[in-house]
Amino acid sequence: MSEQLNIHFKGSFSDVKTCPASEMPEYAFIGRSNVGKSSLVNMLSGKTHIAKVSNTPGKTQLINLFEVDTKWIIADLPGYGYAKASKVNRSAWSKMVTNYLLQRENLVLLFVLIDSRLPAQKIDVDFMEFCGKKQIPFSIIYTKSDKSSANQLKKQIADIQKVLLQQWNALPEQFVSSSQNKSGRDEILDYIYGINEQFSRK
Ligand code: GTP
Ligand code: MG
């Protein structure tokens, strides 16, 4: 896998209606605020600062689009579950993201990021249930794997899976990542390229 993707920032959009229409397959990254979405976009791109990262939750406020190789698109979405967000902000988030998820025509897959260090969070479980109901295809990425030992990580992920399996008969494609040591990068990009192949053959 090449070190850096040929990636360009397309812009930030507050509404799916203003996102430029495209035929290129689009992959969106979502999850709780601070879970590491923007860091993962940087890690995948091989560039440190293409997406804005912050210690403070609620950094990404808009739909940020990045075009790769003029073939596919990454959408870095604002996070949910930011405790300090006002009600007004929360409902604005919900509207912006829900409209994006339901109306973005070239969206082919959503990556739902889950913090590998925490027990299954209700907000994540509920969000995946929403995706199921709306038939939005998604994969799971367990983030921040560098923060646990290999044994801890295995146990923590198994515990999360156990909770998810109370709701689902089978789990979707899953990845384990660290934006710090780049683990998961090849697997996630290979998966995306595999899907892109199917699109280019259509
Ligand atoms: P919002 O935009 O606020 O929703 O957050 P986000 O999900 O985009 O998170 P972001 O990438 O901004 O990262 C939040 C914090 O977690 C930052 O301090 C990152 O440096 C840290 N972080 C993200 N990914 C990793 C990781 O894989 N390992 C470690 N150790 N820290 C990470
Ligand atoms: Mg972000």
Using CB distances shorter than 6 Å, the residues near ligand 1 are 33-39, 53-55, 57-60, 78-79, 143-144, 146-147, 178-180
At 118-176, the pLDDT tens digits run 999 999 999 999 999 999 999 999 999 999 999 999 999 999 999 999 999 999 999 99
> Residue with the nearest Cα to atom 5 of ligand 1?
34
Q: What is this structure's pTM?
A: 0.96
At 24-80, the pLDDT tens digits run 999 999 999 999 999 999 999 998 888 888 888 777 789 999 999 999 999 999 888
Residue 201 has pLDDT above 90, yes or no: no
Residue 88 has pLDDT above 90, yes or no: no
The DSSP bridge pattern shows strands 7-13 and 63-68 to be antiparallel
Which ligand does the CA of 31 lie closest to? 1
Q: What is the pLDDT of residue 29?
A: 98
Taking the alpha carbons of 81, 118, 76, 47 in that order, is the dihedral positive or negative? positive
Provide the residues around ligand 2 (an ion) whose CB is within 5 A: 37-38, 59-60
Span from the CA of 34 to the centroid of ligand 2 (angstroms): 7
Q: What is the pLDDT of residue 94?
A: 85
Query: How does residue 202 score in pLDDT terms, banded at 50, 70 and 90?
Result: low
89/95 Cα distance (integer angstroms): 10
At 98-124, the pLDDT tens digits run 999 999 999 999 999 999 999 999 999
> Residue with the nearest Cα to atom 29 of ligand 1?
144
Which ligand does the CA of 93 lie closest to? 1
